[in-house]
Structure 1
């Protein structure tokens, strides 16, 4: 097995590097990149033609890889150009927008997404573009395709105020959403005929199927799971059932993914052999399977993991039609290139990253685990195969899961062994229900079976949740830790194929690099550090001294603390339950904190330092920015970090 045998796997890293560089401030603009790419390809063609006559001093491959690098940067700049075309709706007095989805129920309102078509700016109506996330309280539900008139300007989405707080603005921006707005009832539907257009055919079909499923499954929790499993609609999931599935380590089955596409693919492929079709008819049948897979992908909203799986199974099926078995690594890399070409921001989506990592883990690590035991009986062999797949996927994805979610489900293996077979059965009943749901007796029978299977699945998830020690939380892993774990797994997967001496040296080098990076991080930790967090109406101080955390809350609510404060404490490995700072209040109203190097005046919100700080920083655009050192600062609307 040679790396040269996987061309798309060789191309992918260069495109990714180009995307990362294209997002930097020093990246050339779209036109410059297009010219550079054209020149590179012209040079490449000249080198190829001259290479046939005489050996060229420049390898043609190097120019091809450079072209892929520039192509990656070009993808980013092209998307940025489309973003620049969006109208600044903050100056709009009124705007006309098209409804793009059905209402999502929220505690006190309904959520929807509007796509702006025209805006009234300084008394002139003109074409406009932008997406606005809206919340309304109208008794009349909004439907896709309707056109609404909004007589007030939307708001921009605020960036996070505190360190390592979830960046909701960036999350929406990568979906093309720049604004949000609470409408209440202050809008007017001026056209309700647009929803009949073909553009919204799949949206309406998905909604009708969802309503039919809910009507056939009276149990609310079971209906929520059915919608998540079959259609990927998990926004309405009850928090308690979501937590049960998370602790059971099977949350991935509630997001339509490669597992679901694989189940559908397996169902159709398994019945191919008993049909005993001739060659030409078998090919037509396989084309039908590809069509079904992509129809399901379209119906579920083309989530990244679904597109990846649909592309993979389509290529595998095409290879089967030609009686060839294409490399799974090439298929994975090709599907990734295809998806990031359409939308380069996909590389930042957690679902996209976890999906590819899980498949890589199954392909590379699962055979090693599988060979550790050869069961004698079929049932044990099936259990062992499922176990090895679960372990392999978990081994490769857990570093990223800790990096994002800081939780590890202890009983993931038990959950996968019990719930995934049930999910397979649910899909075998649920897909026919989606197709035959309009036939009364058949749909009632399928709905009853589906409801019972989901109830059993929920019961198992909730039972696993009751076992003590169901999850390990507050776990962290930095980027160097992820590289170390993935590097060691890659070495283990390559052990039988590569030079054991070189792999041993590589493993030793990884250990030393990771240990050195950890020592450097420890060295960088200050002995005394003050963090000033900003809440909606007040502040909170965290003062770390010699590894002990002290805190003073000026009025943040528990929900605010969990959302805004915990991420930074987790990042710094600080306690979630700090000791309280002791404050002495002077006649002037100033609070002097005992044992700390600062005092605070609540009246003018001024922070004074009794000892000169080493440095002062404020939080901006996901990083600390240094300020000049002064003896006091006014606590305004941003977070501060002061090192003593």
Structure 2
């Protein structure tokens, strides 16, 4: 197993814990308002195009829920999303697909890489792809999670051009450093905490799971492998963000895995259709787009009605939240110890 870079891990963990403590103790409302104002100013140049696309969405359907969810998922416009829709997505554990995040940007990046036939060493290809990635980040308002993903994708692209392979933990730590240098108050941001906790958990847990499972034997079918990878990533991300969700929002969604099996493929289709809809005049694409969003909303509404679909009123203290992460860390260290192969002594 690849040797973990514990210095980067320690730095990231300290950033998350400090952010959690500062958020609990200080909560600098003026600083967060200032940062939000700066981000809105940065994306003001994109407001015209975003407004034009929102108007095209309005012409596709009269259903307010479908239209608002579509605008939120593809344009980052969450203001029109009603309380009932927000509750459904929150209860089912699908709030991360309603708000733009690294997931959305990664889906777009993978699509662009496939269209370029995975020519990672081409300077022209990487330049075009990164321009589109950062253009979409600007278009959607530069949320912390999307900026984090854009920076990581940029670092990976630069390493690919140089024929180097980046270690995810080091790239994540570098991204956190860049964000904190650019804005000293970013550690207060809930999106920053959730985004880095999820990615950190995925980076740490997935290699361990890969060692425990013989993929060549059990996952030789592409569909089975895709479902397995989706399950592993979903569980790993949930482990990372569950304590923070309980602390900030007081909720936990037991059916998050079932939700992700439905929501993530749907979001992938929605983003692909949205990109096609933006560059083509064909209304049939728009109708398909609205249809997928409508089906997703209905399915999640049904899931929200299942008994015990949400556990609420948790609200652990900041000390309890940190101790939960310490417990996770102890379990993780114990598993790594068990996986170490004993060396033969001659």
TM-score interval, normalised by the smaller of the two chains: 0.7 to 0.9
- The alignment status of 1:411 with 2:250, answered yes or no, reads no
User: Residue 139 of structure 2 is aligned with which of 293, 299, 302?
Assistant: 299
- C-alpha deviation, 1:488, in angstroms: 2.9
- CA distance, structure 2, for counterparts of residue 278 and residue 465 of structure 1: 42
- CA distance, structure 1, for counterparts of residue 279 and residue 85 of structure 2: 27
Per-residue displacement from partner, 1:90-124 (whole Å, max 9, x unpaired)? xxxxxxxxxxxxxxxxxxxxxxxxxxxxxxxxxxx
CA contact (8 A) 1:368 1:493 kept: no
User: Residue 451 of structure 1 is aligned with which of 290, 297, 312?
Assistant: 290
SS at match of 2:87: helix
- CA distance, structure 2, for counterparts of residue 292 and residue 414 of structure 1: 32
Q: Which residue of 1 aligns with 2:179?
A: 339
Q: How does 1:66-105 map to 2 (within 5 A)?
A: none
- The alignment status of 1:324 with 2:182, answered yes or no, reads no
In the alignment, structure 2 segments of 5+ residues that lack a partner are 341-346
SS at match of 1:176: helix
Q: Which residue of 2 aligns with 1:479?
A: 318
- The alignment status of 1:488 with 2:331, answered yes or no, reads no
After TM superposition, the structure 1 stretch with the greater mean CA deviation from structure 2, 228-237 or 303-312, is 228-237
- CA distance, structure 2, for counterparts of residue 14 and residue 409 of structure 1: 27
Q: Which residue of 1 aligns with 2:344?
A: none
TM-score normalized by the length of structure 2: 0.84
Alpha-carbon distance change, 11 to 478 in structure 1, aligned in 2, over 3 angstroms = closer
More strand as a share of residues: 1
Q: Which residue of 2 aligns with 1:382?
A: 226
CA contact (8 A) 2:104 2:271 kept: yes
Q: Which residue of 2 aligns with 1:246?
A: 90
User: Residue 33 of structure 2 is aligned with which of 175, 189, 193?
Assistant: 175
Q: How does 1:74-473 map to 2 (within 5 A)?
A: 170-171=28-29, 173-176=31-34, 200-273=44-117, 282-373=122-213, 374=215, 375-376=218-219, 377-436=221-280, 439=281, 442=282, 444-473=283-312
Structure with the bigger RCO (C-alpha within 8 Å, sep 6+) is 2
More helix as a share of residues: 2
CA contact (8 A) 1:219 1:451 kept: no
- C-alpha deviation, 1:13, in angstroms: 7.6
CA contact (8 A) 2:8 2:170 kept: yes
Q: How many residues align?
A: 329
Alpha-carbon distance change, 418 to 370 in structure 1, aligned in 2, over 3 angstroms = farther
Alpha-carbon distance change, 326 to 390 in structure 1, aligned in 2, over 3 angstroms = same
Alpha-carbon distance change, 20 to 415 in structure 1, aligned in 2, over 3 angstroms = closer
- C-alpha deviation, 1:369, in angstroms: 3.8
Alpha-carbon distance change, 278 to 203 in structure 1, aligned in 2, over 3 angstroms = closer
- CA distance, structure 1, for counterparts of residue 104 and residue 316 of structure 2: 29
Alpha-carbon distance change, 368 to 177 in structure 1, aligned in 2, over 3 angstroms = closer
Alpha-carbon distance change, 327 to 170 in structure 1, aligned in 2, over 3 angstroms = same
Per-residue displacement from partner, 1:13-36 (whole Å, max 9, x unpaired)? 888999999x9xxxxxxxxxxxxx
Per-residue displacement from partner, 1:245-272 (whole Å, max 9, x unpaired)? 1111110111111000000011111233
CA contact (8 A) 1:319 1:325 kept: yes
- C-alpha deviation, 1:490, in angstroms: 2.6
RMSD: 3.2
Per-residue displacement from partner, 1:445-484 (whole Å, max 9, x unpaired)? 2210100000111011011011111111111322232222
- C-alpha deviation, 1:314, in angstroms: 1.0
Per-residue displacement from partner, 1:501-547 (whole Å, max 9, x unpaired)? 9xxxxxxxxxxxxxxxxxxxxxxxxxxxxxxxxxxxxxxxxxxxxxx
Which structure is larger by alpha-carbon Rg, 1 or 2?
1
TM-score normalized by the length of structure 1: 0.47
Per-residue displacement from partner, 1:422-453 (whole Å, max 9, x unpaired)? 111101001222333xx3xx1x1221010000
- CA distance, structure 2, for counterparts of residue 18 and residue 481 of structure 1: 14
CA contact (8 A) 2:19 2:187 kept: no
SS at match of 2:311: strand
Alpha-carbon distance change, 15 to 264 in structure 1, aligned in 2, over 3 angstroms = closer
Q: How does 1:584-595 map to 2 (within 5 A)?
A: none
Per-residue displacement from partner, 1:114-138 (whole Å, max 9, x unpaired)? xxxxxxxxxxxxxxxxxxxxxxxxx
- CA distance, structure 2, for counterparts of residue 13 and residue 199 of structure 1: 31
CA contact (8 A) 1:6 1:330 kept: no
